[in-house]
Amino acid sequence: MKEERVVVVTGGATGLGAALVERFANEGFQVLLNYHRNGEAAKALARRVTPLIGEDSIIIQQADVADRQAVRRMFAAAVEAFGRVDILINSAGVNRDCSFMDITDDLWDDVVDSHLKAHFICGQEYVRANPDREGVIINMGAAAGSTGRKNGANFCAAKAGVAILTKCMALELAPRIRVNCLVPGSVQTREVIERYQLDTEEGLSRELATLPLGRLGEFDELTDMALWMVNATFTTGAKFFVNGGQYMH
């Protein structure tokens, strides 16, 4: 039997966010697809998944998820359309690589706000929109939040914050709402391809050498874990790594 739960996916127009929208739609969830700037991609994705769930079971909502009023309107739209919100997947976030000494205040704020502040705001507003039902929040982490990397102090600091924020949320929102963190590894998103030059033989070989499983990940493997996390009723405050053994924690 198809699910009838409601999921809000932030940053759902492209990349992993889009893969999550497609997977949950395929499982029969009603979906609010959030985007910030890429409206055309969001509309194209909605058209693609509409045959799976019907046009009344997916809505698109533009919002900067670091803007509380926009986020509040986003959840109000979900409640108006579907009557409730069961699951929040915090997939939105930007990356602005730059050497440490060249990071400006704006570059710092753009990245930290889009990840850490947005997870905080969306988490609060989700709970307010879901005052009496059991629920699930999935935050999006990164191994760089544990290991660090060059030219990414803003991103790494934000993702380190997301990891500990997940634990704090899990402690305070239990037992009604479970909060866990999904930590993806190397999959072929545009950002990963560009950063590690995976479109070149040298870059791909270099990346594969860091992966004990010897290959890049697939979106399906990440969405499998997200779906499992939604249904794992005795799990909260945990990080789940889907990275081919690239980083073992």
For the chain, the structural domain boundaries read: 6-186+219-241
CATH of domain 6-186+219-241: 3.40.50.720
Contact 63, 70 (CB under 8 A): yes
pLDDT for 198: 84
Residue 163, burial from CB neighbour count under 10 angstroms (0-12, 13-18, 19+): middle
Q: 108-122, 176-190, 217-231: lowest mean pLDDT where? A: 176-190
Q: Compute how many other C-beta atoms are within 10 angstroms of the C-beta atom of residue 204.
A: 15
- What are the pLDDT digits (tens) for 219-231? 999 999 999 999 9
- The burial of 199, by beta-carbon neighbours within 10 Å (0-12 exposed, 13-18 middle, 19 or more buried), is given as exposed
Question: Which of 45, 71, 38 lies closest to 59, judged by CA?
Answer: 45
Instruction: Write out pLDDT tens, residues 47-102.
Output: 999 998 999 999 999 999 999 999 999 999 999 999 999 999 999 999 999 999 99
